[in-house]
C-alpha cells in the first residue's frame, strides 16, 4: 500500500523533452491511473506525447517524491491553427459563439494539454503546484484546457485558479464524453 506524500518529501522540477522521453512509460502509467483508462491506452498515447514535445513553447513540469518517482506531471505548448485540438475547439466555438469569439479565444494561447496527479497523491495541492509551475514561464496572453464534464478535483482546481467557461458540453471527435473547454488570462 502506498501512502500519500508528505509535503516535505516532494519537489517540483522542470523536465526537458529528453527527460520526459526517458520517463515516458512512468508518466503514461501515471496518466492511465489518474484518468482511469485501460492499460492499453499507454501504447496509444505515447506517439502523441512524443509529437507534442516538438511543438512551439512546449514545457513540462513534474512533482517527484523522495525516491524520484513521479507523483504528478503537467505539460503544454503554444496552441496554433492546424493542431487537432485547436481545430476541434474552433469548430465548437464558431457553432455556439461565432467566428469573432473563436478568434479572440484562440489568439495567443497556451494549451494546457495534460495535468495528472497519481491517485494516491491527490488532494494535497500538487495539481495547483504543477499548474502554477508550468504557467510561470509562459508568455501567451491566456491558457486554455479541456476536461471531462463533471464534479471532479480537477474542476475544483481550475475554478479555484480562476478558469472560466469557454465552451461547455462539447464532444471531441472520437470521444463520446462531454467536455468543457476552460480558459483564463495569464499570469495566474
Q: Which of 31, 75, 158, 170 is catalytic?
A: 158
Q: What is the DSSP letter of 6?
A: P
Give the count of beta carbons closer than 10 Å to the beta carbon of residue 77.
21
63 SS3 class: strand
Indicate if 158 belongs to the active site. yes
**Which residue from 75, 69, 78 is spatially nearest to 17, judged by alpha carbons?**
75
Q: How far apart are CA 125 and CA 170, in angstroms?
A: 28
Could you give the angle at the alpha carbon of 65 between the alpha carbons of 58 and 116, nearest 5°? 45
70-78 and 179-185 beta bridge pairing: unpaired
**Which residue from 142, 159, 25, 15 is spatially nearest to 73, judged by alpha carbons?**
15
**Which residue from 75, 49, 46 is spatially nearest to 61, judged by alpha carbons?**
75
Residues with a catalytic annotation lie at: 158
Amino acid at each position: 500500500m502506498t501512502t500519500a506524500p508528505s509535503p516535505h518529501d516532494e519537489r517540483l522540477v522542470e523536465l526537458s523533452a529528453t527527460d520526459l522521453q526517458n520517463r515516458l512509460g512512468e508518466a503514461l502509467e501515471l496518466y492511465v491511473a489518474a484518468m482511469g483508462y485501460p492499460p492499453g491506452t499507454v501504447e496509444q498515447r505515447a506517439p502523441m506525447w512524443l509529437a507534442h514535445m516538438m511543438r512551439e513553447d512546449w514545457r513540462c513540469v513534474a512533482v517527484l517524491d523522495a525516491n524520484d518517482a513521479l507523483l504528478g506531471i503537467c505539460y503544454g505548448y503554444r496552441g496554433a491553427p492546424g493542431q487537432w485540438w485547436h481545430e476541434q475547439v474552433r469548430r465548437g466555438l464558431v457553432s455556439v459563439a461565432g467566428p469573432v469569439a473563436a478568434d479572440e479565444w484562440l489568439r495567443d494561447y497556451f494549451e494546457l494539454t495534460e495535468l495528472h496527479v497519481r491517485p494516491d497523491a491527490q488532494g494535497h495541492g500538487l495539481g495547483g503546484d504543477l499548474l502554477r509551475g508550468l504557467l510561470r514561464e509562459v508568455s501567451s496572453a491566456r491558457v486554455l484546457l479541456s476536461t471531462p464534464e463533471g464534479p471532479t478535483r480537477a474542476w475544483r482546481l481550475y475554478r479555484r485558479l480562476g478558469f472560466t467557461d469557454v465552451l461547455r458540453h462539447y464532444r471531441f471527435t472520437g470521444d463520446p464524453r462531454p467536455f468543457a473547454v476552460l480558459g483564463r488570462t495569464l499570469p495566474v
